[in-house]
């Protein structure tokens, strides 16, 4: 029997081994050649040898059972003795070469011997290389980035593989106050501290959706103690003043979610009006006749052909202004005959009179109507033929990020869309009136109109390129000091700051912190979903040869706010749709999600099911515990039993990112996010200045929709 033997296997299932310790083992320690070794401590390891391989099992349960023993002769008394048992979850295999792999492919048999774990085994499990053994890191296969230490073996560091951690999405879960923010900050800080075969990170793209305004301090530090890698990271903090998302980047699904039109009548009109608005912008830039004008001409033709009473209203009220707009329209097509035809119709206006009841009546020449309709039809047919190569239809444009004037949408394109669909006697205009009022109220509400730029009356030059580079931290690549748009002005103001808030000029920001804390809830999901979709669309449009060369991480703090499992009401969250799509498709484009939440049971199952790495803090809610167990393999369930009693800063890590499922004490974040627990007694026993808090200053800033800043 091996000197390392501590017991034998008495039962095996698909992932557990039940072990009886040897009777002659009088304590839970055993002396070996090198040291005294622990035998049975929760979260420690035992070795089960099978041929040249060694199964590694984590101790999850220890118990002692009194067993009755009967003597050989009948006159013997009944004796009891205590037998000790271990339950160990088999988590990995040390192959003959010394390489540790996660998982088990060769199972022990009954009475298989069980050994204590040695320092050499631990070196293999934790990939603890000696200096003389150190070699160049293999970024694909090695687990090399230290993020914490083992509570059971304090000399050993817990390491992850960043490519595997970020490559297939990851989740950080745990109760409030358990240390999620510090965990995320310490991992990112560790990445910028590490030496990658003589190199440092210089092209990282990490976008943090900061719900509570915590991470600015973590990556800038404080005036007294700036973040040591401040210049390397060059963090870009986007606050309420910079968090503007142009409304014309929205597709119809975004408009539909934000403005809530009824599906039967209002949604088709809104869709048609948006198509007309975006089509006009494209048509003008390409010197085509905008769709709204073509639609108007088609309506006039139809009224002339049918000799409908509506032609009287058209000639009397709107035709003259329409003709003037058509004259001013800069297009390549010769519109002389169209204008002549409209002038002939206008000559019939004197025949029309208005009664006291504002009713129009008159006898319009049928010959003029017939001739006008014929000319207009012919000219439109010629226009379609000449413009077919560059024809732009409203259906194709509606989801493209094309600028249009939101005021024009309300004042003209809505009416145009209604006129095209309105039949004699129907009440479409009445049904759509509530939607028009809703859009008008959003336009008037600065909490909504400002972040979405609804009152922007001029197109921003290269707005899409500027916005994407702004969010990704690469604005320096499109920055032009002569520009005066809001993105340029905000970036310029950050270049002009001093101290820890100053941006490095002509240098990309490796971390972008988007402060969502003051965004109104009405637009929070729309804006987060829109940013996520634009990032996905941008990366998917990179050339095939460049796919994956711009990897980025989107960190969703308090992710249940963006990707809830249950809809809040009857409509599915637009942000949920986007981030579920990123969870399914983002990996092939180099987009990874890092989901952080204190309520995993309220998160989208689709997103969490796509996460391949989990860092789990203390979870006390039974529903959350049950939900997390459903996400991971059955072999890890025993390890997850510890979740309710994990101390702060301690986690269970499992998944592709680590060599083996393990409990870890995370490294300290330095500097820490601004998420410390309040010190009640200390603050309640202190003498406070009379002017604290500054109620007036805070209230004044509040009324302006801003956050109060100390002088």
pLDDT in tens, 243-257: 999 999 999 999 998
Is residue 390 pLDDT above 60, yes or no? no
Q: What secondary structure does DSSP assign to 609-653, as a single string?
A: HT--EEEE-----HHHHHHHHHHS-GGGHHHHTTGGGPPTTEEEE
Answer whether 386's CB lies under 8 Å from 286's CB. no
pLDDT tens, 11-41?
Answer: 998 889 999 998 887 666 676 556 667 777 8
Query: Cβ atoms within 10 A of the Cβ of 372, count?
Result: 25
CB 166 within 8 A of CB 615: no
Residue 80: pLDDT above 80? no
Q: What is the pLDDT of residues 402-411, one digit of tens each?
A: 888 898 888 8
Residue 538 CB: number of other CB atoms within 10 A? 20
**Assigned token pair, 467:** 């916005």
Most confident residue range from 78-82, 472-476, 523-527: 472-476
Helix (H, G, I), strand (E, B) or coil at 280: helix
pLDDT band at 392 (very low <50, low <70, confident <90, very high): very low
Top-confidence residue, 509 or 363: 509
**CA nearest neighbour of 523 among 271, 706, 213, 260:** 260
Confidence of residue 284 (pLDDT cuts 50, 70, 90): low
Angle among Cα 670, 676, 682 to the nearest 5 degrees reads 120
The answer to whether 389 and 262 are in contact (CB under 8 A) is no
Q: Tell me, what's the pLDDT at 130?
A: 55
Q: Is 7 helix (H, G, I), strand (E, B) or coil?
A: strand
Average pLDDT taken over every residue of the chain: 84
Residues in the chain: 711
Going by their DSSP bridges, the two strands 552-556 and 511-515 should be labelled as: unpaired
pLDDT per residue as tens digits for the range 310-335: 787 787 777 888 888 888 887 777 88
In order of 26, 344, 378, 434, 693, the CA distances from 37 in angstroms are 13, 105, 97, 76, 58
693 prior amide bond cis, ω within 30: yes
Closest CA to 592 of 164, 7, 25: 164
CA dist 191 and 147 (Å) reads 9
Measured CA to CA, the distance from residue 337 to residue 345 in angstroms comes to 13
Question: In angstroms, rounded to a whole number, what is the distance separating the alpha carbons of residues 524 and 515?
Answer: 11
Q: Which pLDDT does position 67 carry in this prediction?
A: 65
- Match 């703090």 to its residue by tokens: 557
Is the separation of the CB atoms in 122 and 115 below 8 Å?
Answer: no
Confidence of residue 624 (pLDDT cuts 50, 70, 90): confident
Average pLDDT, stretch 510-534?
89
Q: Are 251 and 431 in contact (CB under 8 A)?
A: no
**E-state strands within 150-248:** 157-160, 170-173, 206-210, 236-238
pLDDT score at 133: 55
Give the C-alpha separation, 464 to 471, whole Å. 11
Would you call 247 helix, strand, or coil by DSSP? helix
pLDDT tens-digit readout, 539-578: 988 888 888 889 999 999 988 888 888 876 677 888 999 9
The mean pLDDT of 188-216, rounded to a whole number, is: 92
| Residue that has been written with the tokens 């067993």 in this structure | 67
Token representation of residue 487: 């993105």
- Arithmetic mean of pLDDT, 154-180: 90
* Cα–Cα nearest to 98, from 70, 126, 60, 131: 126
Question: For the residues of 391-428, what is the DSSP string, one character each?
Answer: ---HHHHTTS-----HHHIIIIIHHHHHHHHPPTT--H
Q: Phi and psi (nearest 5°) for 341? A: -65, -40
- What residue has token string 């969870």? 583
Q: What is the pLDDT of residue 34?
A: 60
More confident residue, 219 or 308: 219
- Tokens 């492919």 sit on residue: 105
User: Max CA-CA distance within the chain?
Assistant: 133
* Maximum mean pLDDT: which of 310-324, 361-375, 520-534: 520-534
Asked whether the beta carbons of 218 and 673 are under 8 A apart, the reply is: yes
Q: Which has more confidence, 388 or 556?
A: 556
Query: Would the pLDDT of 601 be above 50?
Result: yes
pLDDT in the model for residue 373: 85
Residue 520: both structure tokens together: 């109104």
Query: Six-digit token pair at 550?
Result: 């711009």
- Cα separation, 708 vs 220, whole angstroms: 19
Q: What is residue 79's predicted lDDT score, i.e. its pLDDT?
A: 56
b/e map of 68-99 (b: 16 or more CB within 10 Å)?
eeeeeeeeeeeeeeeebbbbbbbbbbbeeeee
Instruction: Answer whether residue 704 shows pLDDT above 80.
Output: no
Question: Does an H or E element contain 463, and which?
Answer: helix 463-472
What's the DSSP call for residue 448? H
User: What's residue 132's pLDDT?
Assistant: 46
3-state secondary structure 17-85: EEEEECCCCCCCEEECCCCEEECCCCCCEEEEEECCEEEEEEEEEEEEEEEEEECCCCCCCEEEEEEEE
Three-class SS of residue 452? helix
- The per-residue pLDDT for range 652-672, each reduced to its tens digit, is 998 889 988 888 999 999 898
Distance of CA 503 to the CA centre of its chain: 25
Q: In what helix (H) or strand (E) does residue 93 lie, and over which residues does it extend?
A: strand 78-94
pLDDT, position 33: 55
| pLDDT of the residue at 313 | 79
Task: Spell out the alpha helix ranges (H) of 194-318.
Answer: 215-220, 230-233, 252-259, 266-285, 291-306, 310-313
**pLDDT value, residue 676:** 65
pLDDT digits (tens, 9 = 90+) for 63-77: 888 765 555 555 555
User: For 147, phi and psi rounded to 5 degrees?
Assistant: -120, -5
CB 506 within 8 A of CB 476: yes
Question: pLDDT tens across 261-270, in order?
Answer: 988 888 888 9
Which residues, in sequence order, are CB contacts of 240 under 8 Å at separation 6+?
A: 451, 515, 518, 519, 705, 706, 707
More reliable by pLDDT, 82 or 114: 114
> Cis omega before residue 256 (within 30°)?
no
Q: Is the pLDDT of residue 647 over 50?
A: yes
Q: Are strands 113-116 and 5-12 parallel, antiparallel or unpaired?
A: antiparallel
């Amino acid at each position: 029997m091996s000197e390392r033997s501590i017991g034998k296997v008495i039962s095996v299932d698909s992932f557990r081994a039940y072990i009886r310790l040897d009777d002659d083992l009088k304590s839970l320690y055993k002396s070996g050649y090198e040291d005294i070794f622990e035998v049975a401590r929760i979260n420690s390891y035992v070795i089960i040898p099978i041929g040249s391989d060694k199964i590694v099992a984590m101790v999850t349960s220890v118990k002692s059972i009194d067993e009755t023993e009967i003597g050989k002769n009948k006159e013997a008394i009944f004796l009891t003795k205590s037998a000790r048992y271990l339950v160990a979850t088999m988590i990995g295999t040390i192959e003959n070469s010394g390489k540790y792999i996660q998982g088990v492919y060769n199972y022990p048999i009954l009475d298989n011997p069980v050994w204590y774990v040695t320092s050499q085994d631990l070196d293999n499990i934790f990939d603890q290389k000696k200096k003389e053994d150190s070699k160049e890191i293999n970024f694909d296969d090695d687990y090399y980035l230290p993020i914490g230490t083992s509570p059971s073996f304090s000399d050993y560091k817990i390491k992850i593989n960043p490519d595997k951690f970020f490559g297939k999405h990851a989740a950080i879960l745990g109760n409030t106050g358990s240390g999620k923010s510090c965990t995320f900050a310490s991992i990112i800080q560790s990445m910028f501290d590490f030496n990658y075969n003589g190199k440092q990170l210089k092209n990282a793209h990490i976008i943090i959706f900061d719900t509570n305004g915590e991470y600015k301090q973590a990556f800038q530090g404080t005036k007294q103690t700036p973040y040591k890698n401040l210049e390397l990271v060059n963090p870009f903090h986007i606050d309420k003043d910079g968090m503007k998302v142009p409304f014309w980047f929205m597709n119809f699904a975004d408009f539909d979610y934000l403005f809530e039109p009824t599906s039967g009548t209002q949604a088709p009109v809104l869709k048609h009006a948006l198509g007309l608005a975006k089509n006009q912008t494209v048509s003008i830039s390409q010197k085509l006749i905008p769709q709204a004008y073509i639609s108007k001409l088609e309506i006039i033709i139809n009224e002339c052909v049918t000799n409908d009473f509506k032609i009287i209203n058209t000639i009397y009220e709107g035709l003259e202004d329409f003709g003037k707009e058509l004259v001013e329209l800069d297009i390549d097509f010769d519109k002389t005959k169209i204008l002549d035809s409209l002038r002939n119709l206008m000559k019939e206006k004197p025949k029309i009179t208005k009664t006291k009841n504002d009713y129009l009546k008159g006898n319009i020449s049928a010959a003029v109507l017939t001739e006008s309709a014929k000319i207009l039809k012919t000219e439109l047919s010629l226009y379609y033929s000449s413009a077919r190569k560059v024809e732009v239809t409203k259906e194709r444009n509606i989801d493209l990020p094309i600028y249009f004037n939101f005021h024009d949408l309300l004042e003209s394109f809505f009416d145009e869309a209604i006129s095209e669909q309105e039949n004699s006697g129907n009440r479409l205009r009445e049904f759509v009136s509530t939607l028009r009022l809703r859009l008008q109220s959003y336009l008037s509400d600065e909490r909504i109109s400002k972040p979405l730029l609804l009152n922007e009356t001029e197109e921003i030059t290269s707005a899409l390129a500027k916005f994407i580079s702004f969010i990704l931290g690469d604005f320096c690549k499109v920055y032009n000091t002569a520009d005066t748009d809001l993105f340029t002005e905000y970036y310029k103001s950050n270049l002009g700051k001093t101290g820890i808030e100053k941006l490095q000029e002509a240098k990309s920001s490796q971390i972008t912190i988007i402060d969502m804390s003051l965004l109104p809830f009405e637009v929070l999901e729309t804006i987060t979903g829109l940013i996520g979709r634009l990032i996905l669309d941008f990366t998917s449009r990179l050339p095939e040869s460049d796919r994956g060369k711009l990897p980025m991480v989107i960190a969703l703090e308090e992710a249940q706010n963006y990707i809830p499992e249950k809809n809040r009401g009857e409509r599915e969250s637009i942000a949920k749709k986007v981030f579920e799509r990123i969870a399914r498709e983002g990996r092939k484009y180099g987009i990874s999600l890092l989901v952080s939440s204190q309520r995993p049971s309220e998160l989208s199952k689709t997103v969490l099911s796509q996460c391949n790495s989990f860092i789990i803090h203390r979870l006390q809610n039974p529903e959350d515990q049950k939900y997390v167990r459903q996400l991971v393999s059955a072999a890890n369930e025993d390890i997850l039993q510890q979740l309710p009693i994990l101390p702060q800063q301690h986690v269970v890590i499992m998944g592709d990112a680590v060599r083996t499922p393990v409990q870890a004490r995370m490294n300290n974040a330095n500097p820490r996010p601004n998420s410390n627990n309040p010190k009640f007694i200390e603050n309640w026993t202190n003498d406070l200045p009379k002017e604290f808090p500054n109620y007036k200053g805070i209230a004044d800033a509040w009324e302006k929709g801003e956050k109060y800043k100390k002088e």
